[in-house]
Structure 1
Amino acid sequence: MSTLHVLSHSPFTDNRLTSCLRLLGAQDAILLCGDAVYALQPNSAPLNALAARVDTLRLFVLAEDSQARGLQVPDWVKSVDYPEFVELSIHYDKVNTWL
């Protein structure tokens, strides 16, 4: 069963991203939104943790949030808009929002 994990908290203030990566299944994906997009800051530990899984990780970022924070999205991360976010939510069997 596939799960879309939605993260919205900064990876610099808690360990949600680390916990999510530990529990991530082979069919799962992550969507970064809100302050979670700060995980894409260049040369940061969160970005390095994500990049270490580049071959198997399905990673999405809400384009509006990365643009609002002035963050460059790496080529291996897919930017999505709100309609695409809805499509992702339908595509995966479950959606787990890390509150």
Structure 2
Amino acid sequence: MPTLHVISHSPFGDDRLGSCLRLLGSDDALLLCGDAVYALRDGAETQQQLQNAKLEQRLFALDEDLQARAIISSLANAVDYQAFVALSLQYDKVNSWL
């Protein structure tokens, strides 16, 4: 069952991102929002983890949060709220990592 995983917490406070990456299935996607977009910062260990996960077209980041934190990344597909809603309907399940 394809799942959209949503992470909003900073990747530097705990291991939610690492746990999520270990559980991602080949049809699952990951959306970073809020402070989780800091995982995409150049030179961050978390950026390397995301690259190693080979998510290609399955890694998304909320554009508003990228802009608010001045993060530019070619690793994730930037999406607006409308696209976020569309993604949540595209996948069978949405799992928010609270």
TM-score range, shorter chain: over 0.9
Q: Which runs of 5+ in 2 are unaligned?
A: none
Matched, 1:78 2:77: yes
- RMSD across aligned positions (CA): 1.2
> Is the deviation greater in 55-64 or in 81-90?
55-64
Matched, 1:17 2:17: yes
Please give the per-residue CA displacement for 1:21-79, whole angstroms capped at 9, x wherever unaligned.
000001000000000000001011100000112365610000000000000122x4210
Q: Percent identity?
A: 57
3-state SS of 2:30 partner: strand
Q: Which runs of 5+ in 1 are unaligned?
A: none
Q: Partner of 2:87 in structure 1?
A: 88
Structure 1 residue ranges, 4+ long, deviating more than 4 angstroms after superposition: none
2:29–2:55 Cα contact (<8 Å) kept:
no
Distance 1:80 1:2, change over 3 A: same
Matches within 5 A, 1:22-61: 22-54=22-54, 58-61=58-61
Measure the CA separation in 2 of the matches of 1:55 and 1:33.
Answer: 16
Larger helix percent: 2
Cα drift, residue 19 of structure 1:
0.2
Measure the CA separation in 1 of the matches of 2:23 and 2:73.
Answer: 24
Measure the CA separation in 1 of the matches of 2:54 and 2:71.
Answer: 18
Distance 1:82 1:56, change over 3 A: closer
